Chain A
Amino acid sequence: MKKLLPAILLALGVVILAAVPWIASDVVVQFGINSLLLAVLAQGWNIIGGYCGYPSFGNSTFFGLGCYGVAIALVQWELPFAVGLAFGVALAAAFAVLLGIPVLRLKGHYFAIATLALALAMSAIVSNVEIAGRNIGLVLPPLNNDPLFYELSLALLIAATLTVFWLTRSRFGFGLIAIRENEEGAAVMGVNTTLFKILAFTLSGVFSALAGGIYAYWITFIDPVSAFDIGLNVKMIIMAVFGGPGTILGPVLGAFLLTAVSEVLASEVTTLAGLFFGLVVVAAVVLMPRGLTDVFHQFHKAGWRYFLNNIRAHRL
């Protein structure tokens, strides 16, 4: 029963989420699509950043490639949406493999900076590609069906979360965690570190690209600046880290909570919303550096002292 309860709660949560388009207003559904796609991005980042320990700033690039995959297929080639999604995924996978080989040799800050540079370069490159509409962008044929986009996003989030769940109990996932904890130690124990890192980067990219594809069709307009937005990458990292990187549900919780907080702040205290959001993030980092999931696990043991202990442990 103790094991079954979380599973039942989770299933109930999914059912409620799936029912939202039938019970809530259009505004809520649109907010829902946004949150679900951000949750997919946070969960995708979780694979490379949370499990493998490589803080990628290149995931917004995958998102952008997914956007352009769908946009080019729909606008320039007049192909169906599904083909566009597949094209976006193929672009992202190719990018992850070709650039992952050199970039994944770097560690820590160097990896972060290199992926950041790639993301900036992509926006400049795409601005000069004729088929991608240069720096003007592409306007997609509108499909006014928010419930469909909502359910698609939810399905994608479930797929991403199930993938992460599989990671926690598979040989592949064990290899990734070993790399995160100690890469040299993993290699001498037989983990093919290069291959595993590239696979993780690719898997992470596939989910980001799918989210990008859905986003592009939903929003019906993309240009290089909005598709390859570094701010989006920062957001997904904040959400994953806020919720608990390297956990199954942490990034999803983090994404839902933070999008809700920023939405409320933006409507209640319009002028200072950005400042408050920043304060929320700083407080979270100081008080719960290992994320929400860790709070859930430790709070009942340590009580309020949990937060004090974190402040002490990090000498803040």
Chain B
Amino acid sequence: MTAILEVSNATRNFSGLVAVNNVSFKLNEGEILGVIGPNGAGKTTLVSLISGTLSLSRGDITFEGQSIATLSAFRRARLGIGRTFQIMHPFPGLSVLDNVAVGALFGQSGTSVGLSQAREQARTQLEFVGLGDYADQRADELSGPGRKRLELAKALAMRPKVLLCDEVMAGLNLVEIDEVIDVVRRVRERGISVLVIEHVIKAIKSLSDRIFVLNHGEKIADGTPEAVLSDPRVIEAYLGRSRRE
């Protein structure tokens, strides 16, 4: 298996605070890689470092063998890195359809797509995530779960090679979680490699091929879901607390 995305020794400081400390990992082609960790472990920072909305303090990130560490966010997007936001970031004044059309217009090969074509592609993506009936609503009229799906559709419309999912299941009920798991699986079937950041352990366990764990900005374990979730350090850092509850 070849790595499509490789993060090496990624470090990010916010003045004194080290949010991500010397983290290295590879995302292989066609893989679903899970990232778990307690609140404040640096998961979202890691996604922002890869998507380019934050810059690295130290380290490097390569995408398809080329360093992307100094590229701006929009260039990384056009290379094929799509992300969703944990705090949902729709374009509130636009219709659901046009939210997604922005991805088709500006993502990979976006320059050659006309507006009506982009809307057509957007409609396909909305149906893919199950939002087909909401296309003409304003994005800020969508419910929380609807917005999570919209985040996915927006990222998918860019035709990414890598999809970074930042807590797309947080705040969903069990039925909705299963539906999103199904969507992510079908995303992978389309040949897209997926990095899933999640709080919901059960979901990520059944979804991921591999998992790694962040705690206080550092990677403390990685491997298959079973191995990682039985690692005593992980239980202490993360699961231990939730078992006592």
Does B115 lie within 8 Å of A189, measured CB to CB? no
Q: Is B167 interfacial (CB-CB < 8 Å)? A: no
Q: Mark A187-206, 1 if CB is under 8 A from B, else 0.
A: 11111111000000000000
CB distance from A101 to the nearest CB of B (A): 14
Q: Is B52 interfacial (CB-CB < 8 Å)? A: yes
Once A174-B98, A189-B154, A193-B74 are accepted as A-B contacts, the answer to whether A181 and B85 lie under 8 Å apart by CB is no
Count how many chain A residues have C-beta atoms less than 8 Å from C-beta atoms of the other chain. Answer: 22
Q: Mark B98-140, 1 if CB is under 8 A from A, else 0.
A: 1001110111101100010000000000000000000000000
Does A185 lie within 8 Å of B90, measured CB to CB? yes
Q: Is B53 interfacial (CB-CB < 8 Å)? A: yes
Chain A residues 182 to 235 lying within 8 A of chain B, measured CB to CB, are: 182, 184-194
Q: Is A145 interfacial (CB-CB < 8 Å)? A: no
CB distance from B70 to the nearest CB of A (A): 15
Q: How far is the CA of A190 from the CA of B101 in the complex (A)?
A: 12
Once A170-B115, A177-B91 are accepted as A-B contacts, the answer to whether A184 and B53 lie under 8 Å apart by CB is yes
Q: How many A-B residue pairs have CB under 8 A?
A: 83
Interface centre among A174, A185, A188, A194 (most CB of B within 10 A): A188
Q: How far is the CA of A171 from the CA of B107 in the complex (A)?
A: 12
Interface centre among B51, B74, B108, B110 (most CB of A within 10 A): B74
Chain A residues 137 to 184 lying within 8 A of chain B, measured CB to CB, are: 169-171, 174-175, 177-178, 180-182, 184
Once A169-B115, A174-B98 are accepted as A-B contacts, the answer to whether A189 and B103 lie under 8 Å apart by CB is yes
Does A187 lie within 8 Å of B107, measured CB to CB? no
Q: Is B92 interfacial (CB-CB < 8 Å)? A: yes
Known: A186-B91, A190-B158. 14 other contacts (CB 8 A): A170-B115, A171-B106, A171-B110, A177-B94, A180-B93, A181-B90, A185-B91, A186-B102, A186-B106, A187-B77, A190-B77, A190-B78, A190-B103, A190-B106
